[in-house]
Amino acid sequence: MTFPSLNRAYNTVFRPGELTIGLVIPLDAHHGSPVPDMTRHVERVRMADELGFAALWLRDVPLNVPSFGDAGQIFDPFVYLGLLSGVTNDIALGVASIILPLRHPAHVAKAAASADQLSGGRLLLGVASGDRPEEYPALGMSFPDRGARFRESLDYIRAMAAEYPSYTGDHGTLNGSIDMLPKPTSGRVPILITGGSQQNPDWVATHGDGWMTYPRDIASQAQVVKDYRSRGANAGADTKPVMQSLYVDLVAEVDAEPTPIHLGFRSGVAFLKTYLWSLRDHGINHVALNLRFNHADIEETMKCLADEVLPEFPTEKSMR
C-alpha cells in the first residue's frame, strides 16, 4: 500500500502501515467553559514542535454558539496559520476543518496556498460542511443545502490550483484569463474530508486526499476504515490515509484503566499506548489528541506524551 506524494506535511504525517500523533489546538484544559485561555498558546505550540509531535490541528469556528459548548481556538484559522508558520519549524499545520459552505472558495484557495507556501509545505486542509445551524443565517446562508455548496466549493478550490484556471459554477466563473497566486508548494494543497460532509460514502472515498473520522471502539473503527478504503478501491482511486481525533485525560498512574469521557477516555499512559497500537493495526494513520478535558498540567502532559508515547510511533524528525 502506498499513499500519493503531495506536500511535506502529507508525506510525513501519513505513512502506510504507520500511525503518527498530533495535538488539537487550543493546548489548554478548559473543561466546562467553551472559551479557552490562550495566554500560553505560542509557548505551547513551540513546545509541541520541539517535542516532535507530527501535527497541530486548528478549528474553524466563525461564531461562538454557546449551546454548542466549544469556541475552538478563538482565532481565525488562516490568520493563526500565518503566525504558527513563523514560530514553528517542522510540525505539520492542519485545519480540522474549514467550513466550506460559509466561505467563498476563492478565498479558501488563496489563504490555503499562502499558508502552505509560508510554512514550507506544512499545510493539511481539512474541510467540512458544518454542524452549527445558528451560524448560517448570520452569514446569509441556508443550512439544508450546505452539502451541494460543499461539493461545488471543493471543485472550485481544486480548479484554482491550475495556472489560469477555467471553471464555471454557482460560486463564479473562471474563464482562463486570470490566475491565483501563490500556488501551493507541490501544485496542490492536500484536502481531507471530514466525516460525511453531507455526501454519500462513495463520493467521500473518491474526492479527498484522505479522510477525517471520529473516535469509535476498535472493532467499529476497523470496519469503518475498511469500508472507506474498499469504496475507494472499487472506484479505482488511490489508497488514502485515515485520521481521527481523540479526547484524552492522562492520569499519573501509568497502569490506570480507562474510563469514558466525551469522545475519548481518561487513563494511564499504558492503556493509551495499547489503544493507539490497535488503531494503527486497523488502518488509522494519524490521531489528533485533544487535551481539553485533561486534569493534569498541560505542559507536563505534553512532555509525558513525548517521553512515553511518541517513541512508539514515527515523527518528522525521526524520519529525516
pLDDT at 68: 85
Contact 116, 122 (CB under 8 A): yes
Task: From 281, 240, 306, 247, select the one nearest 5 (Cα to Cα).
Answer: 240
Residue tagged 479557552 (cell numbers): 36
Q: What's residue 103's pLDDT?
A: 96
Torsion of CA 86, 108, 134, 201, to 10 degrees: -110
d(CA 292, CA 295) in angstroms, rounded, equals: 9
Query: How far apart (Å, rounded) are the C-alpha atoms in residues 287 and 243?
Result: 6
pLDDT of residue 69: 86
Q: Is the dihedral of CA 42, 191, 225, 220 positive or negative?
A: positive
Q: What share of the chain is helix, strand, coil (3-state, %, to 5)?
A: 35, 20, 45
Query: Tens of pLDDT along the chain (320 residues)?
Result: 799 999 999 999 999 999 999 999 999 998 888 899 999 999 999 999 999 999 999 999 999 998 888 888 999 999 999 999 999 999 999 999 999 999 999 999 999 999 999 999 999 999 999 989 999 999 999 999 999 999 999 999 999 999 999 999 999 999 999 999 999 999 999 999 999 999 999 999 999 999 999 999 999 999 999 999 999 999 999 899 999 999 999 999 999 999 999 999 999 999 999 999 999 999 999 999 999 999 999 999 999 999 999 999 976 555 55
| Closest CA relative to residue 89, chosen from 114, 43, 52 | 52
Write the CA distances from 211 to 85, 111, 128, integer angstroms: 24, 21, 11
Q: What's the pLDDT score for residue 318?
A: 54
**pTM value?**
0.95
